[in-house]
Amino acid sequence: MATEWVVRDEKEENVFWPSSEMKKRAWVSDEKIYDDAKKDQIKFWEKLAEDGLVWFKKWDKAYVWEKPYFKWFVNGELNACYNCVDRHVKTWRRNKAAIIWVPEPIDEDVKVLTYYDLYREVNRFANALKKLGVKKGDRVVIYLPMIPQVQIAMLACARIGAIHSVVFSAFSAESLKQRIEDSEAKVLITADGYYRRGKIIDLKRNADSAVQGTTIKNVIVVRRIGNDINMVKGRDYFWDEIVKECDGYCEAEKMKSQDILFILYTSGTTGKPKGIIHDTGGYLTQAHWTAKWDFDLHDDDVFWCTADIGWVTGHTYACYGPLSNGATLLVYEGAPDYPDIGRWWKIIEEFGVTTFYTAPTAIRMFIRYGEDLFKRYDLSSLRILGTVGEPIDTDAWLWYFKNIGGCRCPIIDTWWQTETGGTLINSLPGIGPFKPTFAGKSFPGTVHTVVDEDGNELGPGEVGYLVQKPPFAPGLLHGVWKNEKKYIEEYWEKFNFRYYYTSDGAYYDEDGNFRLTGRVDDVMKVAGHRLSSAEVEDAIDEHPNVRESAVVPRKDEIKGEVPIAFVVLKHGEGSDSLKKEIIDFVVKGIGPTAKPAEVYFVSDLPKTRSGKIMRRILRGIVNNKKELGNLTTLMNPECIDEIKVVVGYKPLE
């Protein structure tokens, strides 16, 4: 067991470096890799694609950039499921644990699926999808909780070339419907329910109301709870019943590298979520190598990524990345604090988890429980810790490093996005540095920089827009589903196709380590979940008595940010019951993750002369910012005083 402390830099406080043991074991430990990769980025990725994946046919061209699209490994052929499952069953890994599934109820048995088990289940289920008429290129929506059928369903889609679109199980029926309609999916896969903090969540009811009037022809239902649910004859099938009649082998479809593997909807700057498109070859290459190098995955590791499969982190690090590496993946169904606050740590102790990847929000939540709680659990199996989704402050970083990592485990703070498919900016465990609040350097083979409004590159310490330079990373999005305009507007237009635009602010230090300063658009990160102001506003505006609304993020000690709503009513005055109704509209329209933490009733919202709501000013007020910026461009500056009073604005010195 590693007991050596990660070496501390003498010069700088709180900058840590890998221990000699970590360096010795790591796949990558020489920082020369960064410069080597830069010499010919395309060649670098070609080698990774070749070494890391099984291809049925080699590509003709490694990289093509035809504005607005770029392609990797053009006409190369492979199958993502084959790379995650079949290739391992041909080796000694066939009986290795692929998925250790931990149910939320403590009296229920843990299930272990070996790679062979996974192979059998995926094959059968792929045949079940075929039986329902699902073909290459068709869309399948997956609305499942964290149960092994979710990975099985994703891999089965990949096997037959169907495009999966996973929808977070805590999203509402309306959110699900919107995503089904946009993707024009044929089949929906869901469950009869799942457990969350001991309560049964009735997923099927949401599914039933969402599919009404859509393109969905069939619904496959996993029996997770065994409760009594409504099944529509001829439309709905139980998973266990349909697979029983299916063959145990299904040929893996030969997919072109640039064929779509999945669509994942995420929040943009408008009310309607956009379907981010990821391809097969490029995405899988990045998923494979980032999982291997960022988390230094070896065959004896037990990897646990706590993200829900409904988010990109779940796709890449609770499915494709670790499985393509033949790793053992731990999947936990439930809440971190059920039945008590020790649950996660007990799981780490019980299964000897070595690699643990979570969000800063979770860490900040645990800090409240003090240090003693964590001493009760043996966390000595841990080797590497990761974070993702939002900035982590120094206190949370050091707490995580000390209390969970026992000062042995580097913290890999990974910056990336739904659009980037895999991690892009972070320190590597065998190289370092591990510096609180700094994510680190660009993943080898990618180059990021910080630019001003005109696209001029800025120097160390200067805050600007974070962008990626070409050649663009293989895992980066390949379009927005049925919306090329949006794809161009949101990612390419700002800098005229010179860079990929991230919508994040950042700066870098003298050594080239990046520090993120947050989104520069109207997108919030609530407990690491991405949410747009417009989406919440649209849900609020559905209320018959709402004339208009504006939603902005307020800083929050645990969740990072929480949505705050300003509402102008059509008539009458605000009240507690109206507040509750408005919050219910948001829960119904999006889901509980989007609940506003506060609803303020005001008589007007600050607007420019062209009628655009100035959310920037509201954001300043709710965060008690002293500088609210230029107010002279406002059409109605008089409303600011009322808003300040309603919020109880106390400018910070």
Task: Considering only the stretches 161-169, 289-297, 382-390, 533-541, report the one whose residues sit in contact with ligand PRX under the rule CB under 6 A.
Answer: 382-390
Around Cβ 30, how many Cβ atoms within 10 Å?
11
Cα atoms found within 13 Å of the Cα of residue 418, Cβ hemisphere only: 27
Q: Is 414 in the site for ligand PRX (CB under 6 A)?
A: yes
Task: Considering only the stretches 75-83, 95-103, 327-335, 412-420, report the one whose residues sit in contact with ligand PRX under the rule CB under 6 A.
Answer: 412-420
Considering the complex, what minimum distance in angstroms separates the CB of residue 316 from ligand PRX? 8
Question: Which residues are CB-neighbours of 105 under 8 A, at least 6 positions away?
Answer: 195, 198
Determine which residue in the list 418, 427, 468, 513 makes contact with ligand PRX, applying CB under 6 A: 418
Q: Are 646 and 599 contacting, i.e. CB atoms less than 8 angstroms apart? A: no
| Cβ-based nearer residue to ligand PRX, 218 or 418 | 418
Considering the complex, what minimum distance in angstroms separates the CB of residue 415 from ligand PRX? 4
For 191, phi then psi, to 5°, come to -135, 165
Q: Could you give the string, one character per residue 502-541, with x where binding to ligand PRX holds by CB under 6 A and - elsewhere?
A: x-x-----------x--x-----x----x-----------
Considering the complex, what minimum distance in angstroms separates the CB of residue 408 from ligand PRX? 21
Q: Is 104 in the site for ligand PRX (CB under 6 A)?
A: no
Task: Considering only the stretches 82-90, 414-422, 557-565, 595-603, report the one whose residues sit in contact with ligand PRX under the rule CB under 6 A.
Answer: 414-422
CA distance 280 to 254: 11
Beta strands 187-191 and 139-142 are parallel
CA distance 412 to 388: 9
Tokens of 10: 């003498």
Q: Are 362 and 393 contacting, i.e. CB atoms less than 8 angstroms apart? A: no
CA distance 318 to 99: 10
Q: What is the CA radius of gyration of the chain?
A: 24
| Cβ-based nearer residue to ligand PRX, 191 or 312 | 312
Task: Considering only the stretches 9-17, 407-415, 582-590, 632-640, report the one whose residues sit in contact with ligand PRX under the rule CB under 6 A.
Answer: 407-415
| Cβ-based nearer residue to ligand PRX, 242 or 473 | 473
Determine which residue in the list 417, 427, 549, 593 makes contact with ligand PRX, applying CB under 6 A: 417
Determine which residue in the list 175, 313, 446, 468 makes contact with ligand PRX, applying CB under 6 A: 313
Q: Measuring CA to CA, which residue among 400, 403, 428 is closest to residue 414?
A: 428
Q: Are 173 and 206 contacting, i.e. CB atoms less than 8 angstroms apart? A: yes
| Cβ-based nearer residue to ligand PRX, 260 or 305 | 305
Task: Considering only the stretches 87-95, 111-119, 416-424, 549-557, report the one whose residues sit in contact with ligand PRX under the rule CB under 6 A.
Answer: 416-424
- Number of residues interacting with ligand PRX: please give it, by CB under 6 A: 20
Q: Is 449 in the site for ligand PRX (CB under 6 A)?
A: no
Q: Measuring CA to CA, which residue among 592, 521, 520, 528 is closest to residue 560?
A: 528
Binders in 165-204 for ligand PRX, by CB under 6 A: none
Q: Are 104 and 201 contacting, i.e. CB atoms less than 8 angstroms apart? A: no
Element (H, E) at 140: strand 139-142
DSSP class of residue 92 equals: G
| Cβ-based nearer residue to ligand PRX, 113 or 166 | 166
Considering the complex, what minimum distance in angstroms separates the CB of residue 7 from ligand PRX? 23
Q: Is 551 in the site for ligand PRX (CB under 6 A)?
A: no
Task: Considering only the stretches 191-199, 331-339, 409-417, 594-602, report the one whose residues sit in contact with ligand PRX under the rule CB under 6 A.
Answer: 409-417
Q: Is 390 in the site for ligand PRX (CB under 6 A)?
A: yes
Considering the complex, what minimum distance in angstroms separates the CB of residue 37 from ligand PRX? 21
Binders in 261-300 for ligand PRX, by CB under 6 A: 266
CA distance 207 to 214: 11
Tokens of 500: 């990929």
Query: Per-residue DSSP letters for 51-71?
Result: HHS--SB--SEEEEEETTEEE
Task: Considering only the stretches 140-148, 236-244, 410-418, 551-559, report the one whose residues sit in contact with ligand PRX under the rule CB under 6 A.
Answer: 410-418
Determine which residue in the list 80, 312, 353, 621 makes contact with ligand PRX, applying CB under 6 A: 312
Amino acid letter, residue 15? V
Considering the complex, what minimum distance in angstroms separates the CB of residue 103 from ligand PRX? 25
| Cβ-based nearer residue to ligand PRX, 114 or 267 | 267
Determine which residue in the list 97, 242, 388, 621 makes contact with ligand PRX, applying CB under 6 A: 388
CA distance 576 to 569: 14
Q: Is 415 in the site for ligand PRX (CB under 6 A)?
A: yes
Task: Considering only the stretches 141-149, 183-191, 387-395, 566-574, report the one whose residues sit in contact with ligand PRX under the rule CB under 6 A.
Answer: 387-395
Q: Measuring CA to CA, which residue among 239, 271, 359, 273 is closest to residue 308?
A: 359
Q: Measuring CA to CA, which residue among 628, 610, 609, 603 is closest to residue 618?
A: 628
Sign of CA dihedral 603, 606, 612, 613: negative
SS3 content of the chain, % helix, strand, coil (to 5): 30, 25, 45
Helix axes 576-589, 173-183, angle to 10 degrees: 30
| Cβ-based nearer residue to ligand PRX, 258 or 387 | 387
Determine which residue in the list 294, 333, 413, 490 makes contact with ligand PRX, applying CB under 6 A: 413
Q: Which residue has the tokens 């994946």?
A: 53
The site for ligand PRX (CB under 6 A) is made up of 266, 312-313, 388-391, 413-418, 439, 502, 504, 516, 519, 525, 530
